[in-house]
Chains A and B, each alone.
Chain A
């Protein structure tokens, strides 16, 4: 199994090589065989005697992260969809994309995506699942932005990336919680331990985070806004990613984890509500669109909402209907996208207002569209597979039993009405799609090209998909026992194996009555569509979530920009103030909280007049630097402090220090005096009162802090000094009487070595600063 996941990725490495010879053969022809081979490999698992298959390949065993692949009914359904539709899409793209396009890029991204998607549906390990999950986001980003010179493409790619990665990271959070609680990284062993998860206090977090991942990926309300903008991708991509595979990853996730959560009432409430709302909103919005692909995008959103709702219901029949509709939707929606691509390709526009009357010119395409749209609408004829799953959907919405809480109870009452409401609009936009393009008046003067039938190669893929629609419609039990039942089993347990799909439910069946209502009202609404135009235009109006997203993104940008501007002013003064203020506050708080200030007055040396007078002079000089108004004055006053330090070194028995300090202070003062001539005169400090107060608080606070630290450090000496060692061994080991010098060159010679280096570097730097000038005119 692992090879089927990795082979597309491996072969993607060779695609750029192959694409170099595109003048003779289209790259897609080579690529076509990859999904085909995978499809043929998995077809062998289909059958009524299906059993699950496991395979493990070590990756990071120490963390419990391994490629644990697990093939059950659900994964098998998805794997067949991904590889089967993948092959058809590659075939379609051979005719859709000319040799002038950057084919190498296209097929590398596509194979990357295929590999990621197979990984998502086959992984049993949550972290491996997450890895592949993000890889689908990334490859989808690349595919949407395929025509990167197009501004709308880049916008759509970024939007889908932001939203799906937001969801992906939420999901990652849920995964971490799950693995911490259960102590395992395998989904199957989590299902075995579901009691632990259901009794955990983190259950609400897990559920919400997990569902965020699923809802963003599957374009559920209100995260559906990325999908219509993803329509800027080439049509094969839209057909593959944004109808048949990637957007179903969220459904897969919900289905995969529903054995754990199905007993939890909030799972039912959240998933059902979001699904139903998405169904209604998506189908309503689809009616308003004028672009073929936009209609299909909103239609996808609404259909995904319907499947999501069924997964939320969680009853046997609902789960069965959900997997059935996943299959059906993939067939008819894939073919419809291809039809939209053909229409675009052959007429030069996708604007439904310019199209019309194409039936005679594109009879094949029209037939394909007819099957696709009527199946999508759920027209009650036995060769439209959409009708079956829609019937099952109605069945399951009625079939719901009352929940425990009042709210769930209320929900159970409302759901059937909402289901019918959403389906009516589904019918309306399906009819609009078909009759808007193929029926009505001819208006070829509006079209950029003269329309004609598509080449046969382009038609093969939609023909295969439409044959799927018809065959599943006529012989539903062909897919029923062989793999749909196994898929439902994987979600719900062994009870659904003998679901029987019937076309005829009988006149008295409520689901059939609901279908009739949908068709009836839908037909009326379709014929009177023009009268409703005002309502359609009015309703989301300013409430559009698209605008909301733009505003939020804009606000995030401007607010964070504003915040950064507040403190990143470019003023070093402010940065120093912030650094010192933070240090001051943190140190005071820490010292205070840990009782760090101890002040004792024993063990002090005596105070003498001479020391005191030096100290006083230094204090006066130090304070004087603040008030000095002249360059020479400030330099000399600072010099007084330096010489004061030297005197203190004399008093406190440090002859070497005193010597060094005297020399260095003298040299420093000389240096300062050398420079002062070139420095502008000291000005009056132009401080505002406020900044002056802040400066005083910071500097006085810092001085006080250091004083207190000094005193308390002196008051709490915990160990004896190691001075005795140096005093005793200075002569014995170092052979010198001057202990300080012995320390500097013998005991701690490394300090001195690098101190010399520092001086050397400083000297070199000064030299180059003065000598080397790139700009000769300055100076």
Chain B
């Protein structure tokens, strides 16, 4: 199963990056979202996907799944949520101000080196 999840993470990375390389801002944000999903799955897989109990102590049970990757992923989910929402609002503002969502048109102009 680890191999299948790795492949899934790889596909998420690939689609994320394909979206990142687009010109429309919405696609780029979707790309970052997919990228963080891929990364979270990646971390989870590294901690082994063995069949054991969830990491909540219960009297008499010794075998639990690895809790550390879960803690790391939890932190990461929250941070990427913060970033995503900021990006979203930033995009909203950028579109309002510039009347476009096309990266090709959002280049610097007057201060760009000729």
**A residues lining the B interface (CB < 8 Å):** 564-565, 568-573, 576-577, 580, 601, 604-608, 611-612, 615, 618-619, 622-623, 625-626, 631, 634-635, 638, 641-642, 645, 648-649, 652-657, 660-661, 664, 667-668, 671-672, 675-676, 678-680, 682-683, 685-686, 695-696, 698-700, 702-707, 710-711, 713-714, 721-723, 726-727, 730-731, 737-740, 743-744, 748, 751-752, 755, 758-759, 761-763, 765-766, 769-770, 775, 778-779
Contact = CB atoms under 8 A, between A and B. Distances in A.
Given A652-B65, A710-B45, A739-B57, A679 B50 contact: no
A685 B71 contact: no
B15 to A, nearest CB: 4
Given A657-B74, A675-B88, A743-B67, 18 more contacts: A564-B113, A576-B20, A580-B17, A601-B3, A605-B1, A611-B1, A612-B4, A625-B27, A635-B30, A671-B88, A679-B26, A704-B14, A705-B10, A723-B47, A762-B82, A766-B86, A769-B86, A770-B89
Contacts of A612: 4
B7 A707 contact: yes
A702 B2 contact: no
Contact of A653 (B34, B55, B71, B81): B55
A671 B5 contact: no
B89 A766 contact: yes
B93 A623 contact: no
Contact of B19 (A625, A744, A775): A625
Contact of B77 (A576, A657, A727): A657
Nearest to B71: A743
B91 A679 contact: yes
Contacts of A710: 2, 5-6, 9-10, 42, 45-46
Contacts of A601: 3
Interface in B18-49: 18-27, 30, 33-34, 37-38, 40-42, 44-49
A652 to B, nearest CB: 5
| Of listed B34, B92, B103, residue having the most chain A CB within 10 A | B92
B14 A702 contact: yes
A703 B13 contact: yes
28 contacts: A604-B3, A605-B48, A605-B49, A608-B1, A618-B12, A622-B11, A642-B37, A649-B44, A653-B65, A664-B78, A675-B89, A679-B101, A698-B17, A699-B14, A699-B17, A702-B14, A705-B10, A707-B7, A710-B9, A723-B64, A723-B67, A727-B64, A737-B58, A743-B67, A751-B75, A759-B78, A762-B85, A766-B86
B44 A652 contact: yes
Given A576-B20, A642-B37, A748-B71, A714 B86 contact: no
A634 B27 contact: yes
Given A605-B48, A680-B95, A572 B103 contact: yes
A607 B101 contact: no
A184 to B, nearest CB: 47
A628 to B, nearest CB: 9
Contacts of B77: 657, 660-661, 664
Contact of B79 (A565, A572, A721, A758): A758
A740 B103 contact: no
Contacts of B25: 679
Contacts of B92: 675, 678-679
Nearest to A761: B82
B92 to A, nearest CB: 5
Nearest to B44: A652
B70 to A, nearest CB: 5
Contact of A686 (B23, B50, B96): B23
B46 A660 contact: no
A678 B49 CA distance: 42
Nearest to A726: B67
Given A571-B103, A668-B84, A762-B85, A723 B49 contact: no
Contact of B75 (A576, A755, A770): A755
Contacts of B42: 706, 710
Nearest to A641: B37
B8 A618 contact: yes
Nearest 7 pairs between A and B by C-beta?
A: A703-B14, A707-B10, A710-B6, A762-B82, A570-B107, A699-B18, A699-B17
A634 B113 contact: no
Contacts of A759: 78-79, 81-82
A465 B30 CA distance: 82
A512 B97 CA distance: 87
Nearest to A678: B92
B48 to A, nearest CB: 7
Contact of B45 (A642, A714, A779): A714
Contacts of A604: 1-3
Given A638-B34, A706-B42, A680 B100 contact: yes
B21 A573 contact: yes
A676 B74 CA distance: 27
A722 B67 CA distance: 10
Given A564-B113, A699-B15, A740-B55, A648 B41 contact: yes
Contacts of B44: 648-649, 652, 654
Nearest to A612: B4
A758 to B, nearest CB: 5
A765 B24 contact: no
Contacts of B47: 721, 723
Contact of A699 (B21, B95, B103): B21
A641 B53 CA distance: 25
A22 B17 CA distance: 70
A743 to B, nearest CB: 4
A573 B105 CA distance: 12
Given A723-B68, A740-B71, A660 B84 contact: no
Contacts of A638: 30, 33-34
A770 B49 CA distance: 43
B103 A645 contact: no
Contacts of B22: 573, 685
Contacts of A652: 44, 49, 65
Nearest to B30: A638
A740 B66 CA distance: 9
Nearest to A763: B82
Contact of A619 (B8, B66, B84): B8
Contacts of B5: 615, 648, 710
Contacts of A699: 13-18, 21
A758 B79 CA distance: 7
A759 B11 CA distance: 29
Contacts of B46: 710, 713-714
